A = this chain, B = another copy of it.
Amino acid sequence: MTETFLKNAWYCAGWDSDIGIGAKDLVVRKIAGRPILLYRKLDGGIVAMEDRCPHRSAPLSLGRKEQDSIRCMYHGMLFGPDGKCSHVPGMATVPDDARVPSLPVVERDNWVWVWMGDPAKADADLICEAIGPGNPDWILKTNKIQIKTNYRQEIQNLADLSHVSWVHEMTFGGTEDWGYIKPKHNVTPRGIETRYCVRQVPAPAFAKHLFPEDARFDIQVHVRMSVPCNFILSFAVHEAGDATSGPTNGRLLLDTFSSQAVTPRDDDSIDYYFSWGTSKATYIPGIVDLMHTANMEAFLEDKRMLEGQRERMLEFPNAPLVDIVHDAGPGRMLFVLDKLLQEENEAAAAREAAQ
C-alpha cells in the first residue's frame, strides 16, 4: 500500500507544557495516522510509544505510570520506556514479541518532536529552526487549532500567501497587494525558502486603528517551509522605503516571528500549533496580545475555507483543477514532499520484495 504520510520525518506532538510530569499525565496524540502515547520520566525526559498494548490492543493511555514504565490496565502488562515488556502478571517469562514500538523524541524551541520512521535515521538536525516562547530575546504567545483537512491542502494554503488579501481580508489583509505578489520559491532539501518585500502597503486590517490612514509600510517576509508541513515566518515591518527591488531600505519598526507546525492526525484532519510575537528590541506594550488575537481569528478564517474546500473535494473527487500563477509555491513544496514519499514507498516495496 502506498503511504500518504512521510515516515522519516519529525512531527510536532505539541508544546512542551502539554506534557506534565504528574503521576496521571499521559497524553495521546494521533500523528500521521498512528495514536502515540507521550509521558515524562522521573528525570523529565519524554517517552513516546505507540498507544496500543500488543496483547489485545487496549490503549496504554488508559494505563498507569509506574516510575518510568507504563502498565497496561487491562491485564497488567508492564512496559519500559523503550517499549519492551518487562513483566506479565502470572507469567515467569515475557513473550519475545511483547513489545511496543517506541519513537525517538526531541524537545526544542518549546516544541516536542516525534520521529515516525526508522529510529536509526532520526537526525535532530532535520528539525526545522524555530523560535519558541522560551527564547529570551522574543516575546511570543502560542495557541493551537484543529482543522478538518488533508495536510496537502494546508501545505497549499501556507506555501502561497496571496490568499492573505482574500481569506484574511479582515485580519492580516486589508490591501489587495498580497494577492498580486508572485515571489520566487527556492527548493531546499526538505522544503522551500522564500524571501520578498511587500512595499508601500497600509497596516494590516487588525492594526489599522493604530496608524494614520495614509501610513504606508514595507514588510520584509522570509518563509521557510519543511516537511511534513512546518512553516517558519519572519515578518518584519518597516517604514516604507524607496528601494523598488531587493530588501527594503526603510527603518525597522517591528520585528515579528511566527513558528507554525502542522501535524496531520490522519488523512482528514490536522493539528496546528503556532506562536507569533516580536523581538524584545522592537516590542511595543500590548502589541503581542493584539497580534495573537488576530492570528487566532485569521486561522479560523483559514479553517472555514479549508473545511469548505474539503467538502467540495469529497463531492467532486475527480474534478479537473485549473492552475494559476500562485500555485508555484505549493507546487514546489508538494514536489519535495512527493519526492521523499516516493523514495520511502519504493524502499518499502523493495524491502517487501526482498522478503
Contact = CB atoms under 8 A, between A and B. Distances in A.
Interface string A308-326: 1101110110011111111
Interface stretch (A19-27, A54-62, A203-211, A334-342): A54-62
A98 interface: yes
B156 A56 contact: yes
A95 B324 contact: yes
Interface stretch (A165-173, A236-244, A270-278): A165-173
B89 A162 contact: yes
A190 interface: no
Interface in A29-80: 33-35, 51-52, 54-59, 61-62, 71-77
A322 B57 contact: no
B156 A309 contact: no
A56 B176 contact: no
Given A57-B321, A95-B323, A305-B62, A76 B179 contact: yes
A59 B89 contact: no
Nearest to A317: B57
B51 A179 contact: no
A73 B324 contact: no
A304 interface: yes
Contacts of A326: 75, 90
A75 to B, nearest CB: 6
Q: Oligomeric state, in number of copies?
A: 3
A125 interface: no
Interface residues of A, number: 58
A54 to B, nearest CB: 5
A120 interface: no
Contacts of A163: 74-75
Interface of A is mostly: loop
Nearest to A179: B89
Contacts of A71: 166
Contacts of A156: 56
A221 interface: no
Nearest to A33: B315
A182 B162 CA distance: 65
Contact of A73 (B51, B88, B169): B169
A258 B178 CA distance: 54
Given A54-B320, A55-B323, A95-B324, 16 more contacts: A33-B315, A57-B312, A57-B313, A58-B309, A59-B311, A71-B166, A73-B167, A73-B169, A74-B166, A75-B166, A76-B162, A76-B165, A76-B166, A88-B325, A89-B176, A90-B182
8 contacts: A35-B312, A54-B322, A59-B311, A59-B312, A73-B166, A73-B167, A75-B162, A76-B162
